[in-house]
Chains A and B, each alone.
Chain A
Amino acid sequence: MERRSLTAAILVHLAALLLLVVILAPVVWLFVMSISSTPDLIAKPLHWWPETVDLSRYGVLLSSAVNSAGQAFVASLFNSLKVAGMATVAALIVAIPSAWAVSRTPAVGWSLYAVIATYMLPPVALAVPLYMALSWIGLLNNVFGLALVYLTILAPFTTWLMKSGFDSIPREIESAATMDGARLDQVLRLITLPLAAPVMATAALFAFLLAWDEFFYALLFTSDQRAKTLTVAIADLAGGRVSDYGLIATAGVLAALPPLVIGLFMQRALISGLTSGGVKG
């Protein structure tokens, strides 16, 4: 490392600290809210740290009593997992062959741009046509229907990401495997996909997050516990006459956990995915 003056070192660390605070402050506040008792939350002046730690809201949201807030929340948690999971898997299944085709056949690259162009449309413009279509095939208020809608959002994105991943794998490696006697499916399975695994993990994680966080379509196309996702369930908590902000914050913390766990598991793959361009075959 080059030599740096003390001032420069202090400035760099200050900047890093500032970034850390900006990123973490809302999350910390969310957590503090979730464990504050109601009097602490509405006290004036504001209590930055609660006088009494109250963990009861976690119990409320995770209870399985019939017709409780907990039952609705847990149901929506599973709906979110199902919808985001299905949409992500389907998006990868669509993205891998199409991204490979576009990457290896530049002549059809325009089609990817055409698909990306649909991304430019605001979701609200598509809401009515999508609603009618879902209604026509009887998939309104259905996790499969919502996953299908999410697929239209995720597939272009994952395809785009996977294409740049495939682009970084030299074609000569595939040519070599072809000459070595591998069929197309063997080339993909044994050579290309293992090499693209980091990018695939990145695409999967971001696709999952995108689906997990989606609110607009979920609000429009679901109406009860059979299909309602977390984002809608959290909004419901705020929608009543009395809003328990602590409960909303608790739901927020719980909703953040599954992606966090997935992110931790895929950390290694993610990091190498972000630096895969630096590795020479």
Chain B
Amino acid sequence: MSALELVNIRKRYGNVETLKGIDLSLASGEFLVLLGSSGCGKSTLLNIIAGLAEATEGDVRIGDRSVTGVHPKNRDIAMVFQSYALYPNMSVARNIGFGLEMRHVPAAERTQAVEKTAKMLQIENLLARKPSELSGGQRQRVAIGRALVRDPQIFLFDEPLSNLDAKLRMETRTELKRLHQMLGTTIVYVTHDQIEAMTLATRIAVMRDGQIEQLATPDEIYNRPATRYVASFVGSPPMNMLDATVGDGTAHIAGSLSGVPLPSPLQDSAGRVREIIVGIRPESLALAAAGDSGLTIEAKVEVVELTGPELVVTSMIGGQRLTASLPPRSQVAVGSTQHFSFDATALHIFDKATGKRI
């Protein structure tokens, strides 16, 4: 049985189509992350699942029951909002218990449930306070608690960490992961942060222009991106994308004399298209030792940045930029010409016209 199923969801605002046919099926206990830049329709999709917005076309099924036209309160879902959306006029305890209060759960039972949830989130000592007396991180915990206490079929998270500072964001991320592992709940999580997506998700749906560009596990999204867009969205620094043409089993990088011999499994398929894009992740590149017989690429070093754990080297190859993440103690001189080596399996080849992986 699937916990959540979306069938051909479309949403139009006037002439603008923000969702162009979303199909998705989510098993119970999955952590799905909707990843995309702003305006890709991910929040609209979440609101449609929540029932805060109605799809123009298509069907939403929760636990094999169609909920199209069903009021949000009858969908058995809980949501955590980006702005926390706590009730400022109520204490933390009442905030958490509000959903139970509305469902006429007896007061004693309610108090017990609120206390249990508060304990789990380590906010027992805050129960009597008002939201205005809490820090951002504490508010976020209360908002999560308010969703947890109801034990719904599906949790929805709308960019819940984007208002937190970097350190707190990391802690809360780990906390969310722990909660998911502990409770085994089904979660749909919207974010534009690829790190959050990679670390939290059991599956990621990368969205673009109202469509799902790729729906796969984090591992697959990173190692086998289906399109150029997915490849450039996930990973930091982003994947190098070099324009190239194909000839004689070699990809000739535009604007340079360097050629990358295509490994045999890629040769056949790439042979059909002349204009391609060669993608290499910065972390797949290494400094070539003298006399390295493997695959290398030559580039002129322009900027060297030490981030701490790694040395990010930006260099030019022809007119195109090539970024490499190297070990921090690498010796690279600005202005020098360097050979970078890489493994044939690290290459991602995309069709330039369609952006699809070859």
Interface residues of A (CB under 8 A from B): 170, 172-173, 175-183, 186, 190-191, 194-195, 279-281
Given known A181-B99, A195-B89, A281-B86, contact A176–B81 (CB-CB < 8 A): yes
Within 8 A of A (CB), among B298-319: none
B73 proximity list for chain A (CB < 8 A): 178-183
| B interface list, Cβ under 8 A from A | 50-52, 71-73, 77-79, 81-89, 98-99, 102-103, 131-132, 146, 150
Taking A172-B81, A176-B146, A182-B102 as known contacts, 13 extra A-B pairs with beta carbons closer than 8 A to each other, sorted by chain A number, are A172-B83, A173-B86, A175-B52, A175-B72, A176-B85, A176-B87, A177-B87, A178-B73, A179-B51, A179-B77, A180-B146, A186-B102, A281-B86
Residue of A175, A181, A191, A279 touching B81 (CB-CB under 8 A): A175
Q: State the CA gap A150–B49 with chains docked (Å).
A: 47
A-B CB contact pairs (8 Å), 5 listed: A170-B83, A172-B82, A175-B81, A178-B71, A180-B102
SS class, residues of chain A in contact with chain B: helix
Inter-chain CA distance A225–B82, complex, in Å, is 60
What are the nearest 4 A-B pairs in CB distance?
Answer: A181-B102, A180-B99, A172-B85, A176-B85
Q: How far is the CA of A177 from the CA of B95 in the complex (A)?
A: 10
Are A179 and B78 touching (Cβ within 8 A)?
yes
Shortest Cβ distance from residue A238 to the other chain B in the assembled complex, whole angstroms: 49
Q: List residues of chain A with CB within 8 A of the CB of B50.
A: 175, 179
Task: Please give the distance in Å from A281's CB to the nearest CB on chain B.
Answer: 5
* Interchain CA distance A183-B102 in the complex, whole Å: 9
**Min CB–CB distance A25 → chain B (angstroms):** 41
Partner of B85, one of A186, A190, A279, A281: A281
Nearest chain B CB to A263 CB, angstrom units: 24
The 8 Å CB contact of A176, one of B51, B79, B103, B132, is B79
| Pairwise interchain contact B88-A179, C-beta atoms closer than 8 A | no
A-B pairs with beta carbons under 8 A, tally: 68
Q: What is the CA–CA distance of A76 and B83 in the complex, to the nearest angstrom?
A: 52
Chain B residues within 8 Å of A279, by CB:
88, 132
Residues in chain A near residue B98, CB distance under 8 A:
177, 180, 182
Which single residue of chain A is at the shortest CB-CB distance from B149? A180
Q: Is the CB of A191 within 8 A of B87?
A: yes
Question: What residues of chain B lie closer than 8 Å to A195, measured between beta carbons?
Answer: 88-89
A134 to B146, CA, bound (A): 54
Chain B residue numbers with a CB within 8 Å of A181 are: 73, 99, 102-103
Write the chain A residue with the least CB distance to B103.
A181
Q: Is B88 a contact partner of A281 (Cβ separation < 8 A)?
A: yes
A190 CA to B90 CA in the complex, in Å?
9
The interface residues of chain B lying within 8 Å CB-to-CB of A180 are 73, 78, 98-99, 102, 146, 150
Docked complex Cα distance between A210 and B85 (Å)? 36
List chain A residues, Cβ under 8 A from B99: 179-181
Q: How far is the CB of B82 from chain A (nearest CB, A)?
A: 8
Complex Cα distance, B85 from A281, in Å, reads: 7
CA distance in complex: A182, B99 (Å): 8
**Does the CB pair B52–A178 fall under 8 Å?**
yes
Q: How far is the CB of B349 from chain A (nearest CB, A)?
A: 44
Which residue, A180, A279, A281, has most C-beta atoms of chain B within 10 A? Answer: A180
Q: How far is the CB of B148 from the nearest CB of chain A, in Å?
A: 12
- Cα distance A179–B131 in the bound complex, in angstroms: 19
Which one of B52, B71, B103, B131 lies within 8 Å of A281 (CB-CB)? B131
Q: How far is the CA of A280 from the CA of B79 in the complex (A)?
A: 20
Cβ distance A198 to chain B, nearest Cβ, rounded Å: 11
Compute how far the CA of A23 lies from the CA of B103 in the bound complex, rounded to whole angstroms. Answer: 54
Report the minimum CB–CB distance from B88 to chain A (whole Å): 5
Q: For the complex, what is the distance from the CA of A191 to the CA of B99, rounded to whole Å?
A: 13
Within the complex, the shortest CB–CB distance from A46 to chain B, in Å, comes to 55
A178 — nearest CB in chain B belongs to which residue?
B72
Complex CA–CA separation, A4 to B351 (angstroms): 67
Q: How far is the CA of A4 from the CA of B132 in the complex (A)?
A: 33
CA of A191 to CA of B73, assembled, Å: 16
Asked if A175 contacts B85 (CB within 8 A), the reply is yes
Tell me the smallest distance from the CB of A276 to a CB of chain B, in Å. 11
- A-side contacts of B79, CB under 8 Å: 175-176, 179
Closest to A186 in B: B102
Q: Find the A residue at minimum CB distance from B94.
A: A190
- Shortest Cβ gap from A257 to chain B (Å): 33
